[in-house]
Amino acid sequence: MIALAQQTEDYVSPGLQRFCIRFTTLASTNVDDAKFIDIFHAWIQRQALPGILIDVADYRHVPDGLGVMLVSHDANLYVAPDGNRYSLTYQRKTAQPGTLPQRISAAAAVALTACQLLEREQLLHGALKFDPQQWAFVANDRLLAPNDEATFHELRDDLALAAAGVYGSDNFHTEYVHQDPRERLTVNVRAAKPVDVRMLLENIRKQQHG
């Protein structure tokens, strides 16, 4: 156990670069998924998010797939049906500077910005409203971050630091979702009190420039 703890402490947290941040809408919505294609192409034209936005990929034909994906060099962002709701997932692909909590906060800021843009999108007529009170962290590196208790315990403090920066306080809790090694390690983060997207973006900006 000591050897495992030393290995994860030295390796998992500093090295983990590929991960996802996922937000979900508050309630069931009726949206024409094809509109996301037009919306994302418009985002590319005006480079609406950080990074160089490159292309749009349509996976709506794939059962339980990725929906509509916005592709950039450093990350992918996709919106897909999630039960009777929609989820927005921001997936980091390349290395970025900073500690893991800083990288998670930066990714959360991009995801929240995308949520805010979709909530204001005229083509959707206000149909999407995201729930910023909770989000999921998904480790997208099975070799570096296997789905087990040891990895969760190693990452828990970093996730707590990131969540404290996002929410501006320690009034939240984290939940390790499951230990199925066939699935990616997933941790849900939930604030104890209602918040809004604008508030969380402001918290992250203060942290980044503090």
Band of pLDDT at residue 148, cut at 50, 70 and 90: very high
pLDDT over 90, % of the chain? 80
The whole-chain average pLDDT of the chain stands at: 91
pLDDT tens per residue across span 18-71: 999 999 999 877 889 999 999 999 999 999 999 999 999 999 989 878 999 999
Band of pLDDT at residue 6, cut at 50, 70 and 90: very low
pTM given for the model: 0.91
pLDDT at 10: 47
pLDDT at 3 over 60: no
Band of pLDDT at residue 207, cut at 50, 70 and 90: confident
pLDDT at 11: 56
Which residue carries 């980044």 as its tokens? 208
CB 109 within 8 A of CB 142: no
CA angle 112, 190, 156 (to 5 degrees): 100
Sign of the CA dihedral running 84, 121, 101, 3:
positive
| Residue 16, H or E segment | none
**Number of compact structural domains in the chain:** 1
pLDDT at 67: 94
Range of the domain at 28: 2-208
pLDDT at 8 over 80: no
